[in-house]
Chains A and B, each alone.
Chain A
């Protein structure tokens, strides 16, 4: 297992290098720079500002300068948030997003897995149809509709929960629910399919015929096997949660990574775009490694192969 983790860690270096280079090229080939939107500054001052941030140099030189700083863990400075480095901004934003994403994932698993299991076990009954209808609605509803309905009902009409910001547990309820909606539905559909497949297996019949109760069979024999494919989608699931967090952080004005990324893109805040993208890349590499590690633990066949 350690060799697997080590291999992944070594692999991540070229991957991150490619991500950094691609993003660097992408954000710089566009016309329009970070200081275009300012009030009409005299050209000399604009030139001075650009010189300060090395934006007057050839792109290749800018690239080498950036990579040199990156190698030292310095993500640069923001061109829009006065006196703040990218490290500083992301250092504050990452924990917020991580909390939100973790809460969203936990809620999604707590809703999705039981819903899918019940639907599979009671296949064809009204509870199956009901559960799958809820799941289909869940993958179809835009998260900004969920968000604005929740805000409207609980924040504006009933006034029992805050409509935005991130200042304590009460502020987390609505954003976490909004974020959980779509991954929960995705998990429910996946769990149902997976459990249905396992239920067909011979050893489930054996367990039942030796007198094990239906509930025990499901928990001890069915779920343990059915959840393997569920664990393997953790990677795509993280991608869904990150995508969701863009909208959720936008709706609830949460100072997380997604929100900074969106504003950085519209502001052409080069270093902040690069920093956020790189953190997302690291996050995805880490989740995919975790998935592979869990996979080898759950499925002994994988261990022999590697």
Chain B
């Protein structure tokens, strides 16, 4: 999402939206998004977090495109080794004299990409799994949900480390290997949610109507059921992004994540860890970025959930 899509939420033709609202068959997702957006705008803290995330995305995209926001290059060394924060180097420099702010900005690329791609993977796997489970119900549902319970009770890090070691080194500790591992441990929440939504929705009249109109199973799921379940799914994905960022940085911090020269906030924190006693700024700044990003996503997720749930809104 860019700031442009924010306007997209706001600029929908109210007339078409109201017309569509008369029948339950195609509840306009645009309208829901617009409502949510206007409600979110009235929540100061989540709205502020939304803009923090947008700012981080801009920084990450600029870094991908090669625009450096600092006068230094990613690997450029200077004369000052292990300097503390100063006007010249706002976050100080590392043991090779590289500007830490520059490295953190480049780390944003990988950390943010890891978060969003994992959310995409969780959406793909979780939605498929949950749709099958919720739509067919019964025995299939029972078996599939036991699978989710099982996957939930295994420590993520254990699975990720084992996947990491069993992939060939060429992809094992690269961003692709990490994404594979993260995708495999992040889909369960979405699957549970989609299943619950579908179990609830499939008794609605619009499903009967679609079936009576001769639509196939796949069509009913993709065109009728999932769009109606989109709100909670988006909320769940908002929580998947920060937990993926946290998992990746934790894995990299203990030295089993991304291998050098790839740099994420986690690998930077790992570099800084060794110098905690003498140069705490090296671990402090990258960790702070992880914390602020993850916190922003979590607060935004809470805000979105409240905005989308009329029951909670009424109580307030």
Contact = CB atoms under 8 A, between A and B. Distances in A.
Interface of A: 23, 25-27, 29-32, 123-124, 136-137, 139-145, 148, 151-152, 156, 235-236, 238-240, 242-243, 246-247, 250-251, 261-262, 265-266, 268, 273, 277, 280, 284, 287-288
Given A239-B154, A266-B256, A142 B276 contact: no
A242 B155 contact: yes
Given A142-B249, A262-B161, A265-B256, A124 B316 contact: yes
A235 B276 contact: no
Given A246-B254, A262-B256, A284-B154, A142 B290 contact: yes
Interface string B147-172: 00000111111100111111111001
B141 interface: no
Given A26-B162, A144-B287, A265-B162, 7 more contacts: A23-B162, A30-B165, A31-B168, A136-B295, A239-B154, A247-B250, A250-B253
A139 B295 CA distance: 8
Given A23-B162, A239-B153, A262-B161, A139 B298 contact: yes
CB-based closest 3 A-B pairs: A26-B166, A145-B287, A140-B295
Interface range on chain B: under 10, 10 to 19, 20 to 34, or 35 or more? 35 or more
Contacts of B287: 142, 144-145, 148
B249 A235 contact: no
A27 B254 contact: no
Contacts of A268: 165
22 contacts: A26-B162, A27-B162, A27-B166, A136-B295, A137-B295, A140-B246, A141-B291, A141-B295, A142-B246, A142-B291, A142-B294, A144-B273, A144-B283, A145-B283, A145-B288, A145-B291, A148-B284, A243-B157, A243-B158, A246-B254, A265-B162, A284-B153
Q: Which among A23, A141, A143 has the highest number of chain B CB atoms within 10 Å? A: A141
B313 interface: no
